[in-house]
Structure 1
């Protein structure tokens, strides 16, 4: 097959990406301090595979040239992190964005996310890539992991760096640890941290919705403080994919989102309600449901029941009344019946917290 039938011309793709990014970053980083030269790159024989992966995706048939370098230099002025300033430590895994690495930059551990192989081979992927970076670049809040910058070895190998939290995800804490968690201490603190971040997102103009909130998108520090993972915030609506490739992440989605209605702040609030049920029960949403044969109920049937408004995430009998009432309001079937993020934060602060301190 001819190249023109598969991949848009190289120059148009790179130029389009750069134009999109230039628009995103104009003014955003005008006040940022210059990047520190940081550390020299360290490579040993055991890290060769990881380092090559970090160096970026090479798209077959596309070769960078001087004009592409100049475009990137102009787009990322004041934002670029030199490759030699980053030490790649080890691969952590992969996500929707691409491979994920632990690294070291400027006296701190960082997360390095490398774009998927072939993501620049069509205009849609470039647009989505630009949207993700555009959004991350504008988010600055104590309860959201910090976006640090962009690094690349060539115009075809752009990677993104963000703050690393060593405490892992809330999902791991809830389901893979034996640590005792109480509503009066750890659980309330985590819920408060998350709703503060969500309130910040919803306060931005234009409004930013999270669209991907679950225990997997909440990161923890060693002292238990919670932050939303900046890489999990997205501008485009998630695809329920109610078919063979359906992901369990749909269990946190509001009923209206599952049937394709536009994602709103109230859909985020619904997801927060499901998150409260996770904190309360320490069970994956709906995991206790069984079919007639005693087997775990299928994901498809669970989704159908949610869409038909026959099912909500469960809360335990021991859930504090104020938290139970709040979670149920957040998970109201009708979006107009759900509170705003500001109202949720106020309830946690003025009603839930005082009541937990007296019990």
Structure 2
């Protein structure tokens, strides 16, 4: 591929190694490609060891610092160490040194996919550790410098959401906390969330706008922004204004359609953290589902792990049992109680002696099937019956997402 570049390497003084760290640590914290090799090693991938290779002195110095022998390293670790030290191996098994121009990171030097294709080059998709094809996010990349951070909207244990401006429009930006050092697993987990979010396209799921980064540790996901905020806050502020006939049924149906879309994928996608806080609203009160950080495909091997927020979580998950997309249906039943009462679930749960139940007692009764969220006296009976069906202890007796949408879209909600 012949293409003209304005950046020129004038001398070795105008170049830097991929990593400036003196001591190499194979834990995903060093240079970009070394990190990718680390991820593959974590996924039990392997590569043949290099034999009869002349180890460069710079690489040998780093090995000596770690009291390691070159031939003791697995093939992937050998490649990671070589690259991080500024070297690569040709098909002829020769070691060559690699420099980047003018101190630019490889992210800065990367060629946009459009330019790559424009000169007749063909991109090749790498495979994931599970042998599935990796999804390209290159077409979704937007310039990091075009995003203006305005103010933080929310903060969690590892991430935060900001209101930002991009190309003259308000957007929401999710990123990992910048106040902590991120483990490679955290970055990988967030990257998977971004890839999943980019694959979703539904009127009741927040639209993915793009992804941006200026380093591996500073990766951000850009989503559409909703000034109305989340459903939980909106219910609390407008408790006297909302009715089932005019507003709540519309919101509930939108949430149901989002679940129907997720569960109709192959394999079904389970949200695993459905609650009013993870539902945003448009000015027309259309529901928009967000936060797919703990979502999993139904065939995932970790489908016994406890996830989500306990008060919205299905009994089978609390008990550590295997579960399916029907766990989301249980959470939907709990969200119906939030819509009805405009309160958090179990806000009025008390023991036999009239004392407010402690969280452990509450969750124990939920697992036993003796406690479910309460509803107001004004709640339409059909909504109450639907919620009871969704919150069945036996997951197989709960309606499917398609069935609950059909129930919600029936004209008469009073019966």
In structure 1, the residue corresponding to 2:274 is in which secondary structure? coil
Deviation at 1:295, TM superposition (A): 4.5
Where does residue 148 of structure 1 map in the other structure? Answer: 209
Distance 1:137 1:296 in 2: 43
Q: Does 1:299 align with 2:319?
A: no
Deviation at 1:17, TM superposition (A): 8.8
Q: Does 1:278 align with 2:278?
A: no
Q: Does 1:161 align with 2:218?
A: no
The structure 1 residue matched to 2:393, chosen from 316, 333, 337, is: 333
Q: Does 1:259 align with 2:319?
A: yes
Where does residue 14 of structure 1 map in the other structure? Answer: 35
In structure 1, the residue corresponding to 2:197 is in which secondary structure? helix
Larger Rg: 2
In structure 1, the residue corresponding to 2:191 is in which secondary structure? helix
Distance 1:16 1:190 in 2: 45
Where does residue 207 of structure 1 map in the other structure? Answer: 268
- Whether the 8 Å contact between 1:266 and 1:335 is mirrored in structure 2 is yes
Where does residue 182 of structure 1 map in the other structure? Answer: 243
Q: Where do residues 1-359 of structure 1 align in structure 2 (5 Å cutoff)? A: 7-11=27-31, 14-16=35-37, 66-67=105-106, 69=108, 76-95=137-156, 98-117=159-178, 118=180, 120-122=182-184, 124-231=185-292, 234-235=295-296, 240=306, 249-291=309-351, 295-350=355-410, 353-356=411-414
Deviations 1:71-130 (A, max 9, x none): 7966642211112321222111213551211011133211011213456423x3243223
In structure 1, the residue corresponding to 2:270 is in which secondary structure? coil
Distance 1:76 1:70 in 2: 17
Specify whether residues 13 and 165 from structure 1 end up closer, same or farther in structure 2 by C-alpha distance, changes over 3 A only. Answer: farther
Deviation at 1:304, TM superposition (A): 0.7
Aligned-pair RMSD on alpha carbons?
Answer: 3.0
With normalisation by structure 2, the TM-score equals 0.66
In structure 1, the residue corresponding to 2:370 is in which secondary structure? coil
Deviations 1:147-168 (A, max 9, x none): 1111122233111110111111
Of structures 1 and 2, the one with the larger relative CO (CA 8 A, separation 6+) is 1
Specify whether residues 322 and 293 from structure 1 end up closer, same or farther in structure 2 by C-alpha distance, changes over 3 A only. Answer: closer
Deviations 1:285-341 (A, max 9, x none): 111123467543111110111111111111222221111111100000000100000
Deviation at 1:4, TM superposition (A): 6.5
In structure 1, the residue corresponding to 2:360 is in which secondary structure? helix
- Whether the 8 Å contact between 1:80 and 1:151 is mirrored in structure 2 is yes
- Whether the 8 Å contact between 2:27 and 2:38 is mirrored in structure 1 is no
In structure 2, the residue corresponding to 1:131 is in which secondary structure? helix
Contiguous gaps of at least 5 residues in structure 1:
21-63, 242-246
Where does residue 3 of structure 2 map in the other structure? Answer: none
With normalisation by structure 1, the TM-score equals 0.76
Return the structure number with greater helix share.
1
Deviation at 1:284, TM superposition (A): 1.2
